[in-house]
Amino acid sequence: MKTIASPRIKILACLFFAGFAVLEWRLIHLQILRHDELEEKAENYRFTTRVEQAWRGQIQDRNGIQLALTVPVKNVYADLEVWTNRVELLAHIVAPLLGVDQAGLSRRVRQSLSVHNGPPTDRGPGVLLLKRGITPAEWAPIKEALAGETFGLPTNHLSSRQRTMLKGLRRWTLFAEDDQRRFYPHGESLAQALGFTGTGTNGHLLQGKWGLEASLDHLLAGENGVCVSSQDAAGNELAFCRTTNVTVRDGAHVVLTIDLTLQKIVEAALAKVVARYNPSNASCVVIRPSTGEILAMASLPAFLPQQPDRSPTATWRNHVISDRYEVGSVFKVITLAAALELGVVNLKQQINCENGTWIYKKSALHDDGHRNGILTVWECLVKSSNIGLAKIALLVGANRLYDFITRFGFDRATGVPLPYETPGFVRQPTNWSAISITRVAIGQELAVSQLQLAMAYAAMANDGKLMRPMLVRQLDHADGTLWGRYEPKCVRSVVRPETARQVREAMQDVVELGTGKAAALPDHTVAGKTGTAQKSDGHRYVPGRLYCSFVGMVPAGKPELVIAVAVDEPKDSAYGGVVAAPVFREIAEQAVILYAIVPDKGNGSFRPTIPSNNPNLHHDMIAMNP
């Protein structure tokens, strides 16, 4: 049979077979050899991570006054794609809106554009941050002005292409993204304790860098909402594709034990002493002995937490907790308490004070200014006799003295929730030299922080019970409901109540008769101790560099406040009784009114002695006291 089929069918068949082979090879190439690469790139398109920024919590004082809060701000960016080819025109429009220099703006844009002037990509030249942290109220008129701007295009009869261009220009010439800014309404108040925040490197917009902001960052920051999912090409999330889904949890509000009213009283008093004596710094901490709550904590000179970088970093330092000093005479109270607790002396016992100079183990110890003969233990404290206290310490013995020092908490950090707290410096008795005990007894050869000292005094005021210092009173959820409350915590009972009472009585006479007369209040009994310590440069004591301090409590019978004042290196005049004790008085005489502490001195003819024009006191609080 004659076939009608063309012989050229074979050519056609071969061509198509080759085509099929190429297609199959291509499929294997794409789906097996390049599978992993293409799968990953496909997922990059689909993958979407949305982050909802948690709102940083507030810091409040004990009365709910806001000390640090977060405000919404906008960061303004320029989409460089629409700026290309029309930098001058847009800079001319935008510069007055943003209130920046037009030439500088166009130069910045040009620079960013030239950076991207490499090989052209489909992605476009990116964005440029033009202005940080403007308020939403400032942004609204800018946005409005741009929405009505014509960008040099004719006002009517636009072609569809021009309309699209105008729309793009109005939308993307400037655009804003949400940001958060920390606001500290009370300026320098409590600056070192509050600390400050910086730009977050942990996924949050704000991150605590100093003070409470840093130490409580995990509570204040909250938890960002994160949603990891897949999206369609238009950017809509797909159903059932979420691999991570964390709901946003705003940061907690932290309520401090600080009383802002008292804090401002303290700061005003310190400011006065700073103005008068020009010390390198002055600090004060006020504690409620029954609970260990810190009511005020101030260091001067301070800084503005809003702009910490405008002040020297030295002003950031919280001298109450971060510095350790050889505190000198204020430490004698600890020695006395140990001796009384152990019963090695009683207050009436007589000590020979060697007329002011005592050679012990070939080393001379002096009493400054006085030539005391025989003194009672009581008088040793009142007159602040170095020789007397050294002899008492010898009766106590090195090991037992060290034991009391540690029981008062001088060998470790107090645990206040602030960063960079010093643990103090106390050597083991095995490392003490032969005369060390006589020096430790009067507050030398050991270094303690002001807070440690104040807490030890508070233990004396609290019938011998050492409390853990409290700075945070409670935590609230972001919606304002209570999350948790911190309870006062007793660390240990250091001395018997009787011992504590005896020490307080002795300290009361320090104020009434001895070195601390300047601290006395007209209507309230005060117990306290002055201290004037020479500062060493590491090898020997440097004359003229003094650390003046006063730690006192009011009222002496049943103390409700312990106030520790320290003035570091006052420029002239030099005694704790002269420099620091008046500060105590100034704080205490306002504090007794603030807390309505009942007068326990005098004949009942009580008159408030508050300067009537003190702006730091609420009028209603003054009115409460007739």
Could you tell me if 564 and 453 are in contact, meaning their C-beta atoms sit under 8 angstroms apart? yes
Q: Does 311 help bind other proteins (rule: CB under 8 A)? A: no
Query: Is the CB of 19 or the CB of 484 nearer to other proteins?
Result: 19
Binder among 14, 26, 49, 199 for other proteins (CB under 8 A):
26
Q: Does 482 help bind other proteins (rule: CB under 8 A)? A: no
Nearest distance from residue 41's CB to other proteins, in Å? Answer: 6
- Helices then strands (H, E): number in the chain? 22, 25
- How crowded is residue 278: how many other Cβ atoms within 10 Å of its Cβ? 12
Could you tell me if 514 and 382 are in contact, meaning their C-beta atoms sit under 8 angstroms apart? yes
Binder among 20, 343, 364, 572 for other proteins (CB under 8 A):
20
Q: Cα separations (Å) of 490 from 67, 465, 469?
A: 28, 7, 9
* Chain position carrying tokens 């794409």: 30
Residues making up the chain, counted from first to last? 626
- Per-residue binder mask for other proteins (CB under 8 A), 115-134, x = binder: ------xxx-----------
Nearest distance from residue 130's CB to other proteins, in Å? Answer: 25
Nearest distance from residue 168's CB to other proteins, in Å? Answer: 16
Angstrom distance (rounded) from CA 193 to CA 189 = 9
Q: Does 3 help bind other proteins (rule: CB under 8 A)? A: yes
Nearest distance from residue 260's CB to other proteins, in Å? Answer: 56
* Chain position carrying tokens 């004070």: 353
Cα-trace Rg, the chain: 36
* Chain position carrying tokens 């460089």: 80
Quick one: which segment of 23-31, 72-80, 273-281, 490-498 binds other proteins (CB under 8 A)?
23-31
Binder among 30, 71, 482, 596 for other proteins (CB under 8 A):
30
Give the single-character DSSP code of 256: E
Q: Cα separations (Å) of 269 from 96, 353, 381, 398, 579?
A: 46, 37, 27, 39, 12
- 49, containing H or E segment: strand 47-52
Q: Cα separations (Å) of 22 from 15, 17, 138, 451?
A: 11, 9, 63, 82
Angstrom distance (rounded) from CA 383 to CA 413 = 31
Binder among 46, 218, 412, 618 for other proteins (CB under 8 A):
46
Angstrom distance (rounded) from CA 18 to CA 40 = 31
Nearest distance from residue 45's CB to other proteins, in Å? Answer: 6
Give the single-character DSSP code of 55: P
Query: Is the CB of 232 or the CB of 368 nearer to other proteins?
Result: 232
Q: Does 147 help bind other proteins (rule: CB under 8 A)? A: no
The set of residues, in sequence order, having a beta carbon less than 8 Å from that of 517 and lying 6+ positions away, is: 511, 577, 581
Binder among 12, 103, 596, 598 for other proteins (CB under 8 A):
12
Nearest to 223 by CA among 208, 204, 201, 245: 204
Q: Does 13 help bind other proteins (rule: CB under 8 A)? A: yes
Query: Is the CB of 137 or the CB of 233 nearer to other proteins?
Result: 233
The set of residues, in sequence order, having a beta carbon less than 8 Å from that of 463 and lying 6+ positions away, is: 497, 500, 501
Binder among 41, 242, 366, 489 for other proteins (CB under 8 A):
41
Q: Does 14 help bind other proteins (rule: CB under 8 A)? A: no
Binder among 14, 27, 140, 314 for other proteins (CB under 8 A):
27
Q: Does 232 help bind other proteins (rule: CB under 8 A)? A: yes
Angstrom distance (rounded) from CA 262 to CA 277 = 23
Quick one: which segment of 230-238, 475-483, 565-573, 578-586 binds other proteins (CB under 8 A)?
230-238
Quick one: which segment of 178-186, 234-242, 288-296, 516-524 binds other proteins (CB under 8 A)?
234-242
Nearest distance from residue 220's CB to other proteins, in Å? Answer: 38
Q: Does 160 help bind other proteins (rule: CB under 8 A)? A: no
Q: Does 483 help bind other proteins (rule: CB under 8 A)? A: no
Query: Is the CB of 16 or the CB of 483 nearer to other proteins?
Result: 16
Binder among 14, 45, 159, 434 for other proteins (CB under 8 A):
45
Binder among 71, 103, 129, 238 for other proteins (CB under 8 A):
238
Could you tell me if 334 and 404 are in contact, meaning their C-beta atoms sit under 8 angstroms apart? yes
Query: Is the CB of 161 or the CB of 362 nearer to other proteins?
Result: 161
Query: Is the CB of 45 or the CB of 483 nearer to other proteins?
Result: 45
Angstrom distance (rounded) from CA 457 to CA 437 = 21
Binder among 48, 75, 230, 536 for other proteins (CB under 8 A):
230
Angstrom distance (rounded) from CA 259 to CA 291 = 14
Angstrom distance (rounded) from CA 429 to CA 445 = 11
Nearest distance from residue 84's CB to other proteins, in Å? Answer: 16
Q: Does 361 help bind other proteins (rule: CB under 8 A)? A: no
Q: Does 161 help bind other proteins (rule: CB under 8 A)? A: no
Angstrom distance (rounded) from CA 373 to CA 490 = 41
Binding residues vs other proteins (CB under 8 A): 1, 3-6, 8-9, 11-13, 16, 19-20, 22-24, 26-28, 30-32, 34-35, 37-39, 41-43, 45-46, 121-123, 230-234, 238, 241
